[in-house]
Amino acid sequence: MEMNSLAQERKSAQFDVEAMKVVWEGSPEQVQLTQRIGQLVASDPVFRKDNRVSQGRLELFKNTLWKAAHAWSIIQSMHLTEAEALKLRSFIDEPAYTDLHWGMFIPAIKGQGTDEQQQKWLPLAFKQTIIGCYAQTELGHGSNVQGLETTATFDPSTDEFIVNTPTLTATKWWPGGLGKVSTHAIVYARLITDGKDYGVHAFIVQIRSLEDHHPLPGVIVADIGVKFGNGGYNTMDNGLLRFDSVRIPRDNLLMRVASVTRDGKYVPSGVPRQLGYGAMVFVRKSIVMDASTYLSRAVTIAVRYSAVRRQFGTEQGKPETQVIDYMTQQSRLFPLLATAYAYRFLGVWMSWLYSDVTSRLERGDFSTLPEVHACTSGLKSITTSTTADGIEECRKLCGGHGYLCASGLPELYAAYVPACTYEGDNVILLLQVARFLMKTLSLLGSGKKPSGTAAYLGNAADLLAKNCPVTKERDWINLDTLQHAFEARSARLSVKCATQIAAASNQEAGFSEFSSELVDASRAHCELIVVTRFMEALKKEIPGRGVREQLQILCNIYALSLVTARAGDFLVTGYLSSEQLDLAKGQLRSLFRELRPNAVALVDSFNHSDYYLGSTLGRFDGNVYENLYNDALKDPMNASPVTEGYEEYIRPVLKRQLKLANSRL
């Protein structure tokens, strides 16, 4: 029965799935790459992952090390390109020290090291003859980087820095890859020379012997312990690190923006700190792409299972209703499906933004940096929060079976949710966006025109004056109408905050008092960016039968589901009437009906293999129940019909032979 459900669903699709796969991946070559590397990983027994959730931490971690070493040998022996190696690592689908080595350690050296330093360190890192991590956060401070306490004091008598951990709270805490693997760390420490503290700078510090991997003298390094969930992020050795007067050569200070001379003088290089922003845009683009991937995985599982699962509604002789046909299911699920697509187009646009920023920086043009910094901070924040919440929603959408690790969803959530915290706490990032928005508004009076994603604030007067023109449901699916609605919501929330802050006793007190409202305004600004990018993407030519039509429906669903989800914003700013909100809801229901026959084909277009999904509920063939049943019987708990512990702890209870601990009982 269930196998037929998905086959039936696929027949009802009104578009060319293969063409949609190309849209999702970006090009036919990317589709092929995914197929090729995906199969390579799936067919290699070393990369098995279905047993991860039942492994103890030590076994789990050792297995991760095995996978990483095996992957490295494949990358080298098959001479994989950088893009292929990246795909391989992502398909192995397991957080590992390599993420930090390739994703943070190497980029930090590239971004903050001088040319000479790059020539010295990068070849070692590329060959993995050293393995590095990124040690910024401390036990006492994460978000407040200026509050870090680790010190690096220059000693002119030996031409070295002395790295120290002066307090308990100065212990480095959290860096991935640090606990058990890394030989080197980029350590953020306060640079002190000639008795003066020059603030936090980055240093390369060797922490383990390259011979026997023992911590070097003066270094205490360890894993910080088990984290949330089974499997999940526990494959990573997040670590702690302390220094007791560890000496490093002077030129281990990454010196792109500042150096210290032989006699201890601090010399800024004149290279603006903002040069590092290019790397940050790149990292955030990757985070947004990952958000769309993770969300698409969860949505694939929930859509397929919702088409297989049937509850209630039996008529004589007919099957029960597929749960995907319930409007409540659709209204929770389809907006997430649309969001996965929205984030993919956003990621593509951020790739463009990255090349634009990089070429500007090379020309010494820093003019777009504040806007780019704000928008990428905000987009990292909203995409990771929505994705984490979305994975959890998909788990609930799968009912009881979603709670089984066999659904793939608990582990997906456990592995993904820290993305809301690392690379910047999501609330703090939105507060940074808010500062940018308030500054932009304050400069309007002096005639400074906002640009890029903030350009619309230049029309604030119009956006404040004109309310929503919608009079019937179909009026809502007009790009200009939607664009205006999101711009008006964002501008009005920002202007309201600016007015409230202006009335406060001082700016900072006002900012702090209205920080919740500011976060709402920032979210509105970022959601506008996502809606706009989705709409822009649809203006380009999109080949394939019915593909554009489906994307148009998804775009409308994305925008209108936000209108209803954020109804408070639109109503409180006076932009919408409650009647117009009802019209939006009505239009959304029509869109759900249009999407419904295509839902399964739309998740097939994500091109996720069964191996990658790792979910019995999300299997391509829909054969859910038989596999759930067989997998349960294979669980180590069921290795024998009578459980271990029966003789000691069950039999004595049943036979009333239990030794009583307390004779009064």
Beta-strand pair 172-173/239-243: antiparallel
Q: Which is nearer to ligand FAD, 421 or 577 (CB)?
A: 421
Cα 76 to Cα 79, 120, 297, 648: the distances in Å are 5, 22, 29, 52
Q: Which two tokens stand for residue 602?
A: 């739309």
CB of 428: closest distance to ligand FAD in angstroms? 5
CB of 141: closest distance to ligand FAD in angstroms? 6
Choosing from 94, 138, 393, 423, the catalytic residue is 423
Q: Which is nearer to ligand FAD, 134 or 154 (CB)?
A: 134
647 part of the active site:
no
Beta-strand pair 151-155/160-164: antiparallel
Q: Which is nearer to ligand FAD, 418 or 622 (CB)?
A: 418
Closest listed residue to residue 588, CA positions, set 333, 226, 213, 324: 333
Q: Which is nearer to ligand FAD, 137 or 580 (CB)?
A: 137
Q: Which is nearer to ligand FAD, 5 or 238 (CB)?
A: 238
Tell me the residue length of the chain. 665
CA distance 615 to 444: 52
Q: Which two tokens stand for residue 116?
A: 């000479």
SS3 for 628-649 is HHHHHHHCHHHCCCCCCCHHHH
Q: Which two tokens stand for residue 577?
A: 């009437």
CB atoms within 10 A of CB 220: 13
Q: Which is nearer to ligand FAD, 77 or 146 (CB)?
A: 146
Q: Which is nearer to ligand FAD, 238 or 322 (CB)?
A: 238
Residue nearest to ligand FAD (CB): 142
Q: Which is nearer to ligand FAD, 37 or 189 (CB)?
A: 189
On whether 452 is known to bind a ligand per the annotation, the reply is: no
CB of 38: closest distance to ligand FAD in angstroms? 26
On whether 176 is known to bind a ligand per the annotation, the reply is: yes
CA distance 412 to 422: 17
Q: Which two tokens stand for residue 326?
A: 């319930």
Who's near 620: CB < 8 A, 6+ residues apart? 6, 304, 604, 610
CB of 356: closest distance to ligand FAD in angstroms? 27
CA distance 288 to 346: 7
Please give the full DSSP string across 550-563, using - where no structure is assigned.
HHHHHHHHHHHHHH
Closest listed residue to residue 557, CA positions, set 596, 518, 529: 596
Q: Which two tokens stand for residue 453?
A: 């994603």
CA distance 128 to 108: 16
CA distance 324 to 305: 9
CB of 137: closest distance to ligand FAD in angstroms? 3
Closest listed residue to residue 136, CA positions, set 84, 171, 103: 171
Closest listed residue to residue 453, CA positions, set 520, 355, 519, 528: 528
Closest listed residue to residue 137, CA positions, set 239, 276, 286: 239
CA-atom Rg of the chain in angstroms = 27
Q: Which is nearer to ligand FAD, 135 or 576 (CB)?
A: 135
Q: Which is nearer to ligand FAD, 238 or 573 (CB)?
A: 238
CB of 147: closest distance to ligand FAD in angstroms? 9
Q: Which two tokens stand for residue 328?
A: 């409540």
- 553 and 20 in contact (C-beta within 8 Å)? no
202 DSSP β-pair partners: 188
Residue type, 21: K
CA distance 82 to 178: 24
CA distance 597 to 17: 13
Closest listed residue to residue 243, CA positions, set 211, 199, 213, 203: 203
CB of 171: closest distance to ligand FAD in angstroms? 12
User: Residue numbers of the site for ligand FAD (CB under 6 A)?
Assistant: 100, 134-137, 141-143, 174-176, 233, 238, 418, 421-422, 425, 427-428, 431
Q: Tokens 């991937």 appear where?
A: 293
CA distance 489 to 539: 24
CB of 178: closest distance to ligand FAD in angstroms? 7
246 DSSP β-pair partners: 163
Q: Which two tokens stand for residue 623?
A: 């054969």
Q: Tokens 């209205």 appear where?
A: 514
CA angle (170 as vertex; 165, 171 as ends), nearest 5 = 80
SS3 161: strand
Q: Which is nearer to ligand FAD, 413 or 606 (CB)?
A: 413
**Which residues sit in the known binding site?**
137, 176
Residue ranges for the known binding site for FAD are 137, 176
Catalytic residues: 423
